[in-house]
């Protein structure tokens, strides 16, 4: 049994805290919101983010980072990408010993194009952690918290730490695989949110299963194109953190990215959609990041480009579908040597 801090009391942080608790660990949950912590400590429920479950009475919710990281052997960051840099800086001020860092965040930072583990490496001094592990895969919090069968992948630069995260989280309802391809696992988990926004738009426009299957498959092609250019193993994208997460996020009623896309297709403005969701929709900022990164790397990402035009240039979603369907004719399978040479353009 270990003492573990989980930073972030949103839906995924709470669900992962429950997995660790069920595995016999002492779990300390942290939120920056005092009233949310008080409510959770009094009611033993996370009414705002995960109302379907009751939390154990001995799982305390903290608002002091110094208290929550005291004596822990691992810290699990489960925050929106935009909060990672700032919370790492705060952790650096109060952490006085070496821990295992694990994160469950899916996003890329706009402007820097950094993956979450890269942001962490920038902000946390190496003497404070053994390694950074990403946990990613098809895993909606609502189902994990109800102990429905779920599979994810743990990946780090050194397999030893991925295996340590596997040990901490694995149980008969939450199966954890390991992968040595951290770039692929982080990029797959982040970029699939763009395609999930697209799937929500497609459904919102009244298009059917054919269109959704096309989005998932061609979405996977462009995710792999950018991912391999950034050093990922192309095979990772046919795994849990690639096609697995694409399937779940593009088809599940639980997906915030799908919901946001669906509301956009029905004519709602982006700011109204985000206000209505009241939960993080990572795909929006990731679209911004991936669009700019693809331009810089000269990688063709037509779906991401279309999404960018809908989100940030007020393009009509129906026109974007026409744009995608009438692109220049091409072969389905791309020349892998061109992908690997990092310079695929039409
Ligand atoms: N939900 C899911 O099923 C899954 C989510 N993920 C990923 O996990 C990450 C977190 O998502 P999720 O838990 O769903 O998000 P939620 O929107 O449910 O919760 C986000 C939490 O982060 C807090 N937060 C927001 N901004 C800050 C900040 N600047 N400093 C400190 N805390 C902050 C929020 O607090 P407040 O209430 O004050 O806003 C809230 O407690 C995302 O990257 C997501 O893609 C991955 C797998 C599954
Ligand atoms: O990543 C997720 C499931 O694996 C959650 O996706 P959403 O953020 O779209 O809900």
Does residue 266 have a pLDDT over 90?
A: yes
CA distances from 301 to 131, 277, 293, 305, 327 (A): 32, 27, 10, 6, 12
pLDDT in tens, 184-209: 999 999 999 999 999 999 999 999 99
The whole-model pTM stands at: 0.96
Q: Report the nearest atom of ligand 2 relative to the CA of 12.
A: 5
- Residues with Cβ within 8 Å of 86's Cβ and at least 6 positions away in sequence, in order, are none
- Residues with Cβ within 8 Å of 74's Cβ and at least 6 positions away in sequence, in order, are 2, 4, 5, 99, 100, 101, 102, 168
Q: Tell me, what's the pLDDT at 194?
A: 98
Q: Tell me, what's the pLDDT at 346?
A: 43
Binding residues for substrate: 106, 256-257
Domains in the chain with CATH codes: 3-180 (3.40.50.720), 183-340 (1.10.1040.10)
The reply to whether ligand 1 has any atom less than 6 angstroms from the CB of 87 is: yes
Does residue 314 have a pLDDT over 90?
A: yes
- Residues with Cβ within 8 Å of 211's Cβ and at least 6 positions away in sequence, in order, are 202, 321
The reply to whether ligand 1 has any atom less than 6 angstroms from the CB of 274 is: no
First to last CA, the chain: 54
Question: What single-letter DSSP state applies at residue 115?
Answer: B
Mutate to test the pocket of ligand 2, among 13, 219, 254 (most ligand atoms within 8 A of CB): 254
For ligand 1, atom 45, name the residue with the nearest CA.
106
CA distance 259 to 196: 9
Average pLDDT over residues 132-160: 97
Q: Tell me, what's the pLDDT at 244?
A: 98
Give the percent of the chain with pLDDT over 90: 94
Average pLDDT over residues 285-297: 97
Ligand 2, pocket residues at CB < 6 Å:
106, 138-140, 193, 196, 245, 248-249, 254-257, 282
User: Number of helices (H) and strands (E), helices first, in the chain?
Assistant: 16, 8
Average pLDDT over residues 165-180: 98
Does residue 338 have a pLDDT over 70?
A: no
Binding residues for NAD(+): 8-13, 141, 256
CA distance 3 to 234: 36
H or E element, residue 83? helix 81-94
Mutate to test the pocket of ligand 1, among 12, 189, 275 (most ligand atoms within 8 A of CB): 12
**Which ipTM was obtained for this model?**
0.99
Catalytic residues: 192
Average pLDDT over residues 79-97: 98
- Residues with Cβ within 8 Å of 247's Cβ and at least 6 positions away in sequence, in order, are 138, 216
Contact assessment for residue 103 and residue 120, using Cβ atoms and an 8 Å cutoff: yes
Does residue 124 have a pLDDT over 50?
A: yes
Give the percent of the chain with pLDDT over 70: 96
The reply to whether ligand 1 has any atom less than 6 angstroms from the CB of 46 is: no
Ligand at shortest distance from the CA of 241: 2
Task: Indicate the pLDDT class of residue 131, thresholds 50, 70 and 90.
Answer: very high
Output Rg (C-alpha) for the chain, integer angstroms: 20
- The residue that leads in pLDDT, 44 or 346, is 44
């Amino acid at each position: 049994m270990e003492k573990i801090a989980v930073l972030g009391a949103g839906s995924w942080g709470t669900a992962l805290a429950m997995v660790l608790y069920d595995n016999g660990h002492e779990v300390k949950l942290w939120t920056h919101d005092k009233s949310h912590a008080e409510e959770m400590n009094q009611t033993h429920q996370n009414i705002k983010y995960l109302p379907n479950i009751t939390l154990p009475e001995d799982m305390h919710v903290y608002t002091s980072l110094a208290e929550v990281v005291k004596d822990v052997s691992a810290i699990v960051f489960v925050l929106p990408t935009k909060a990672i840099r700032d919370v790492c800086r705060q952790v650096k001020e109060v952490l006085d010993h070496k821990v295992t860092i694990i994160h469950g965040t899916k996003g890329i930072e706009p402007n820097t194009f950094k993956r979450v583990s890269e942001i962490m490496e920038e902000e946390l001094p190496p003497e404070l952690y053994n390694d950074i592990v990403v946990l990613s895969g098809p895993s909606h919090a609502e189902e994990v918290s109800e102990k429905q069968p779920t599979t994810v992948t743990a990946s780090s630069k050194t397999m030893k730490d991925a295996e340590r995260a596997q040990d901490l989280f694995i149980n008969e309802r939450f199966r954890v695989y390991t992968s040595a391809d951290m770039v692929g696992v982080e990029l797959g988990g982040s970029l699939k949110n763009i395609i999930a926004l697209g799937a929500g738009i497609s459904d919102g426009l009244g298009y059917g299963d054919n269109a959704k299957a096309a989005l998932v498959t061609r979405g996977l092609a462009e995710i792999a194109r950018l991912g391999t250019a950034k050093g990922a193993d192309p095979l990772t994208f046919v795994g849990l953190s690639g096609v697995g997460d694409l399937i779940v996020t593009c088809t599940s009623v639980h997906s915030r990215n799908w919901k946001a896309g669906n509301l956009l297709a029905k004519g709602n403005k982006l700011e109204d959609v985000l206000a209505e969701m009241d939960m993080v929709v990572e795909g929006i900022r990731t679209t911004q990041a991936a669009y700019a990164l693809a331009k810089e790397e000269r990688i063709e990402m037509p779906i991401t480009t279309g999404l960018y035009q809908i989100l940030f240039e007020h393009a009509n979603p129906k026109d974007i579908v026409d744009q995608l369907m009438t692109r220049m004719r091409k072969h389905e399978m791309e020349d892998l040597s061109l992908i690997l040479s990092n310079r695929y353009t039409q």
